[in-house]
Amino acid sequence: MKSNPYLSFRNNAREALAYYQSVFGGTTEIHTFADFQASQDPEEQEWVMHGQLESPAGITLMMADTPKSMEYTPGGSMSISIGGFLSEKAALEGYWEKLCDGGHVAMPLERPDWGGVFGMVVDRYSVTWMVSISDDNETR
Asked if residue 43 is part of any domain, the answer here is: yes
Q: What is the mean pLDDT of residues 5-28?
A: 97
Burial 38-55 (b: 16+ CB within 10 A, else e): ebeeeebeebbbbbbbbb
Nearest to 92 by CA among 127, 126, 61, 55: 55
Give residue-wise pLDDT tens across range 80-139: 999 999 999 999 999 999 999 999 999 999 999 988 999 999 999 999 999 999 987 655
Contact assessment for residue 51 and residue 28, using Cβ atoms and an 8 Å cutoff: yes
8 A C-beta contact, residue 134 and residue 86: yes
Over residues 51-92, the pLDDT tens digits come to: 999 999 999 999 999 999 999 988 777 899 999 999 999 999
pLDDT value for 138: 55
Give the end of a domain, one of 65, 95, 110: 65
The pTM of the full predicted model, rounded to 2 decimals, is 0.91
- The predicted pLDDT at position 1 comes to 87
Burial of 85 (0-12, 13-18, 19+ CB in 10 A): middle
Please report how the helices 89-100 and 13-24 are oriented relative to each other, as an axis angle in degrees rounded to 10.
150
Q: Report the CATH number that the domain containing residue 57 is assigned in CATH.
A: 3.10.180.10
- Domain span at residue 29? 6-65
As for how many domains the chain has, the answer is 2
